[in-house]
Amino acid sequence: MKAIIFSMASGKILESMVKQQIIGETFKIFLDQEQFDSAIHLIIYFEDFETDTYLSQCIDYLIDQTKKPQFYEFKILFLIKLFDYIKYVQFDNFIQYLEILVKGDQNLFFYSSNPIKLAMILIDILYLIKRKFKVALFRIDLLKIEIEDLTKRIIKAITNSDELKQLLKQKDLRGNDSLYYMSLYNVYTILDTTSTDKILQDFWKSSKDVTGYLIEASSSFRIIMSNSTRFLPQFEEQNRFYKKIDLKKLKSHTFQFEVWKKSMQISLVHQLREEMSQIKDGELLALQNYVQIIDQQLEDAGYDINLAIDDNMCSQLDDIPQLQLNKNLPEAHLWRLPQLKLDICLENNRRYR
């Protein structure tokens, strides 16, 4: 029987590994063919087979594509989607490729229909990297200065004010325009040119921007239209009440306001008693006396808590059906009522904790 179960488990593991390999190779083919919509669908619809190794392999394929300047905006947004899973070594390769494209002859801004928007998206991911990896602070600052200088030169080269206004107001796939990123990261020096003064005045004096739909402000709409629920906060895991009890993360309970001092004492005594129980027999025989003292303190503290619970919190238990049934017992059994009260209090205390 064990052999059958082991063979079935091995077969499922092998099947999962094969599917991961097939999905990974398909992901690489889509990236090579510049089919980014199909590539991101693989990440969304095959979440069950995602592991750290699988995601790391996909990220390696994606960063390898950043060597080429085509469709760079989509590649950056894809990296931001997978930002939490990217390691520093992978970011280091990305920064190296980006430095070559920014400082080299094959400038990536020549391949973009909106170089200003692409520059702002690059500054966005550079700030995210700098916030996560402090070791790359110097390289990122130098690269950011290069991108700002290139963007300022591009803006000066645009003579048509309407075209420049359209480039500044064009939004990316996340719904943000270039002016949003400039205000977010305080890079207004890019607009420090004579050609942008009139445009900014027009933006300031213009009427309110009424583009978009009212339904976009709905949380339900955002959840439905989100690319993947995997990137949404897992509220169940954060707030579920049946997590394993950890002595270092004790939560509040019903009797906290009455016996919280004793409760804290018991948690410390339990922790110390647990540590003492891990000592092997024959080692440090002098600590046996401490173990006896701890047991006595644990018993005394528990007795004090039981008295506090019985005196302060159990007065409201007269309406409990179990107690009402016991009131009908003969007088010889009425002595069991205090013990029954205590048992119910302790049971409730255990549940709340």
**SS in 3 state form for the chain?**
CHHHHHHHHHHHHHHHHHHHHHHHHHHHHHHHCCCHHHHHHHHHHCHHHCCHHHHHHHHHHHHHHCCCCCCHHHHHHHHHHCHHHCCHHHHHHHHHHHHHHHHCCCCHHHHCCCHHHHHHHHHHHHHHHHHHCHHHHHHHHHHHHHHHHHHHHHHHHCCCHHHHHHHHHCECCCCCEHHHHHHHHCCHHHHCCHHHHHHHHHHHHCCCCCCCCHHHHCHHHHHHHCCCHHHCCCHHHHHCCCCCCCHHHCCCCCCHHHHHHHHHHHHHHHHHHHHHHCCCCCCCHHHHHHHHHHHHHHHHHHHHHHHHHHHHCHHHHHHCHHHHHHHCCCHHHHHHHHHHHHHHHHHHHHHHC
Higher-pLDDT residue of 47 and 183 is 183
CA pair distance 274, 246, nearest whole angstrom: 13
Instruction: Give 120's pLDDT tier (boundaries 50, 70, 90).
Output: very high
- The pair of three-digit structure tokens given for residue 220, joined into one six-digit string: 């339900």
Q: Which residues of 17-40 are buried (b: 16+ CB within 10 A; e: fewer)?
A: eeebeebbeebbebbeeeebeebb
| 286 or 199, higher pLDDT | 199
Residue 174: count of CB within 10 angstroms of its CB: 11
Flag whether the pTM goes above 0.75. Answer: no
Q: Which of 108-112, 168-172, 248-252, 310-314 has the lowest mean pLDDT?
A: 310-314
Say what the pLDDT of residue 170 is: 86
Nearest Cα to Cα of residue 182 among 121, 110, 140, 109: 121
Tell me what pLDDT residue 353 has: 47
Please check whether residue 152 is in contact with residue 189, taking contact to mean a CB–CB distance below 8 angstroms: yes
Average pLDDT of span 59-82: 87
Q: What is the pLDDT of residue 104?
A: 74
pLDDT surpassing 50 at residue 319 = no
Residue 105, pLDDT above cutoff 70 = no
Mean pLDDT score, 49-70? 81
Mean pLDDT of the chain: 68
Average pLDDT of the residues in 105-109:
74
Residue 340 banded pLDDT, cuts 50, 70, 90 = very low
Give the pLDDT confidence of 223-282 residue by residue, as tens digits. Answer: 555 545 445 555 555 555 555 556 565 555 555 445 445 555 556 556 666 666 665 555
Residue 126 binned pLDDT confidence (cut-offs 50, 70, 90) = very high
Sequence-distant contacts of 332-341: CB under 8 A, at least 24 apart: 338/310, 341/310, 341/314, 341/317
pLDDT of residue 121: 92
Single-letter amino acid, residue 251: K
Task: Assess whether pLDDT exceeds 80 at residue 286.
Answer: no
- Note the pLDDT tens digit of each residue in 174-226: 888 888 888 888 887 777 766 676 677 777 666 555 454 455 555 555 555 55
